[in-house]
Structure 1
Amino acid sequence: MRSTHTRLRRACVTAAAAGLLAVPVTTGSAYGAPTPPGPSVTASPTPTGDSEFPQLTPAVAAQLDAAIQKVLRETQVPGVIVGLWAPGKGSYVRTFGVADKTTGAPMETDFNFRIGSETKTFTVTALLELVDQGKLALDDPIGKYIEGVPNGDRITLRLLAGMRSGLFNYSEDPDFEKQLTTSPDKYIPPRQLLDYSFKHPVQFAPGAEFDYSNTNLILLGLVVEKVGGKPLNEFIRQEVLEPAGLRRTVFPVDANFPDPHPHGYTDQSATGKVVDATDWNPSWAWAAGAMISDMTDLRSWARTLATGTLLTPETQAERLKTTPMDIPGAGYGLGIFNVQGWIGHNGSLPGYEVLPVYLPQAQATMVVLLNTDITTKGQEPSTLFGEAITSIVTPDHVYPGHKPTVPKAG
């Protein structure tokens, strides 16, 4: 059975199998284009209150309602929030389903979510800010900062941020899995996470391949702390969140989860039962996946991240240089991906998934948040929603259908 911990490992665009989900597709961009309405659904429209973004036409909104509700039924996701915005074209903000399966309380647009691997975008941004400050260089070896790293004299910060280090992913280690599944409330320090990784042989020579590994981000988090001179959560708050104007994004140091938030549901690998993972301690994800945010902040961050407003143009250009992934039209840069033109990162942690991305060609932003990470036939639900939505609104830039790779362990 699939392990709970693999979701953070696989949170980089593990997408839907092609043809699994049938959704209506319009001709050309559907932003503002008339389309036949879909079937009626139970959804909660939420006005944006932003005159720059008039709501999409009722026909397009109805088509989106129908497609999202279809994914909701097929995946059995408890609840989802979807936001779309494009200047001069329109906006769409909806909640579907429930935030609490016990009480039936509905999803609300102001809820906080655990954002999983979206955290990587903040950690790498912090690193790149230090590059811009001249305090380190992307081609510095990790061994310059952290002792005991296998191939530490040849693995550069660039290779770590681009997922090309070859280091074993700690979240695939059986001892790590046992600790996480038996004691989900326990704090796991970063150095222990590295121990889980370093007892395994390296997977390949530095730079030889692309392999998504959380170990890379733990190392980069330690570098930011060492060079930045303060704890990672404090550095990110002061140097990334505050300059970006993100007021409801936090990096917790424990299991604290600011209200309001939905309950998050996952399936335990040991029993196969669906459990409430709302208050699990995310310390095991740390620089790779521990942060919390909401729709409004993620909407803003998606644009900031894609356009590089916190970085110099030269550093942003380095960030956006991508290595091909095993998905057509997809590449991974430095803590960021480009998938069919959509730039950003997805995130998955036990109980939660998020997908905040930005399409520069249309200046469009899409944010999807849901309160489960349980896959459907091996497919991440956030990507199923993303595929259904973009098939309608940006048919020339469809967030892709893809069969995910099989986890190497667990």
Structure 2
Amino acid sequence: MPLTRKAYRAAILHSIADPAEVGIEASYEYFEDGLLVVDNGQISALGHASELLASLPADIEITHYQDALITPGFIDTHIHLPQTGMVGAYGEQLLDWLNTYTFPCESQFADQAHAEEVAGIFIKELLRNGTTTALVFGSVHPQSVNAFFEAAQKLDLRMIAGKVMMDRNAPDYLTDTAESSYLESKALIERWHGKGRLHYAVTPRFAPTSTPEQLTLAGQLLGEYPDLYMQTHISENLQEVEWVKELFPERKGYLDVYDHYQLLSERSVFAHGVHLCDDECARLAQTGSAVAFCPTSNLFLGSGLFNLPMAEKHKLNVGLGTDVGGGTSFSLLQTLNEAYKVMQLQGARLSPFKSLYLATLGGARALRLEERIGTLQPGTDADFLVLDYNATPLLSYRLKQSKSIAETLFVLMTLGDDRTVAQTYAAGNLVHQR
């Protein structure tokens, strides 16, 4: 292939560290008139336009954006592909919601054509909202994951997904067995893991829907393939926490169930964690595991408020998750709008720079991909967004009053949504144009 080199000029902002660890000022880089240079799908230079322009060849194509901000692509650390068709379903808390809406919707993925259709819609929605990497739950059917990875591979996206493992406490039409879930997961791993920018995640839905035999085999898979991911749910809803105690009376608590079956690792991501205790946060941090903070769905399903300050105290990796369909938006900007309110309700503040961190570098660290994505550092994949300051009349008017990049960023996260994302680039390719 011929060498492709392009440059993009605009205001540019990215996180370089967690504000909770280094303070706000040291956590980001901002170039009011910045330049991003991309070579063959990777970022090769970043800096002030005035300093970099002279070093570029005369014939390089430079795209200049006015009234716009370039940021890294957003990273969604928890979302469900098969729930796209039931997002915004009325009136239940977690366990009833699963039985009333989720399981019937997921059953449709036994049909290959349906799986392919929804995978296409789902990926378009991610990219329209500026999400360039997601950690994705499939359904119990292998075809849900095959359809998703096939669609993601065509666009050279960095995506992680897995087939749900679920052999009890769910309708007969939607369960596998310990043995079949192991064999089907293994076949998907062999086919997709490490292919292009794709990765596989072992995916027991949550402790109540897996027998000890199935959880044992999930742990076995992690042992057989060293760099696999593991994703599941934990401590989302108080009823669910009680149910886990009844099902696993021999274990100390919810996290201890997963710990016992060797599912805690540097690539393990636990969604929600609303009702975790101090000891559980410490154990997650000790094992290098991460939590996906899903404010939109935690509010929508009435699950509770995630304690981010407690996670920070333990230096626990936290990413952000939309959790569609419990969450009601594919937009991480909208998700940050809700995250701010979740913190406010607990008497805590969420700075716009911590928010940016959660949606980008924090997510990359949760996924152990910070060498590849989550920043705009030279050498990383060219996954980035162009956010339009004039996306809506209100946003345009409000940003004209802004006196700092902190204010601008906060307004984007409060008033912004899919309309704010003018363009999405993945591996240097334009994959969404508004």
Relative to total residues, which structure has the larger helix share, 1 or 2? Answer: 2
TM bucket by the smaller chain?
A: under 0.3
- CA radius of gyration, larger in: 2
Q: RCO greater where, 1 or 2, for CA within 8 Å and sep 6 or more?
A: 1
Query: Could you tell me the TM-score, scaled by structure 1's length?
Result: 0.25
